[in-house]
Amino acid sequence: MGTSSGSDVRATQVEERPLPPARSRGSAVGGWVLTIVLNVAAPIFTYNALRDQGWSEFAALLASGAWPVLDSAVHLAWRRRLDEFAIVTLVFLVITAVVSLVGPHSARALLVKDSAVTGLFGLLCLASLLAPRPLMFYFGRKFATDGTTASTSWWNGLWQFEGFRTTTRTMTTVWGVAYCIEAVVRVALASALSIDTMVTLSPILIYGVLGSLILWTTMYGKRARRRGEERAAAATAQG
């Protein structure tokens, strides 16, 4: 009887999760557009323009990497605070810069190093499963809230629910494995294809994988939420 009562309480908690506070849809869309422009379109355009001006492949590729740095700076100024997501982003920018400047200075080597950085992100996802809260918890909070105190508190409060914790850890595992595989594939392609082809293909591959993961994450999250509500309804009916 005690076990059944405990299950009912947990199911009711899942069913009665607080709703998120209202957020600006226009602000969210604007943020995504800015991210795509600065991380995909601008680097490709910059690389091709600099190559046409006679820049070397390595110099043009390194210069085109300034746009993602600008994207992080814009978001940091927009939020006006340094959260865990921003810290992770800045750390990876530093790692990318250091990795880019050490070792062989060639465009192909730079592409391989860039792939190694995304592989490091995958490993970081998997390693964060040992932390109190996995990395996808902070990434989810970045994109599921608008940065206000109310929305941040709402997201932090969801951690008390077992279903939310399980879902977040599963997402972190999938993202970690996917990016480890993506890194291996990009290293292989960078070794086999021409530099010009990889400059165009690399960001498409990066954001294609990212888009696929976001789509899967959205569908998986909705499915997990629906299963939780069904269990809660069943427990309530039995009670």
Q: Hey, what are 194's tokens?
A: 């021409």
Rounded Cα distance between 178 and 185, Å, is 11
Which residues have CB under 8 Å from 159's CB, separation 6+? Answer: 133, 137, 165
Rounded Cα distance between 204 and 206, Å, is 5
Residue-level pLDDT at 14 = 42
93 contacts 68 by C-beta, under 8 angstroms: yes
Q: Hey, what are 121's tokens?
A: 């992100």
Ramachandran quadrant class, 103 (left: phi over 0; alpha: psi -120 to 50; beta: rest): left
Residue-level pLDDT at 60 = 72
Residue-level pLDDT at 1 = 44
- Kindly give the confidence (pLDDT) of every residue in the chain, 239 residues in length, as a single tens digit, with 9 standing for 90 and above: 444 444 444 444 444 555 555 555 555 556 567 666 776 677 777 877 887 788 876 677 677 777 777 776 776 676 665 555 555 655 666 666 666 666 666 677 777 777 777 888 899 899 999 999 998 998 888 777 766 778 778 888 889 888 889 999 999 999 999 999 998 888 888 888 887 788 778 778 877 888 898 889 889 988 887 877 777 677 677 76
Residue-level pLDDT at 7 = 45
Residue-level pLDDT at 30 = 60
Residue 65, SS3 per DSSP: coil
Residue-level pLDDT at 171 = 93
Q: Which pTM does this prediction carry?
A: 0.64
Rounded Cα distance between 39 and 49, Å, is 16
Residue-level pLDDT at 87 = 58
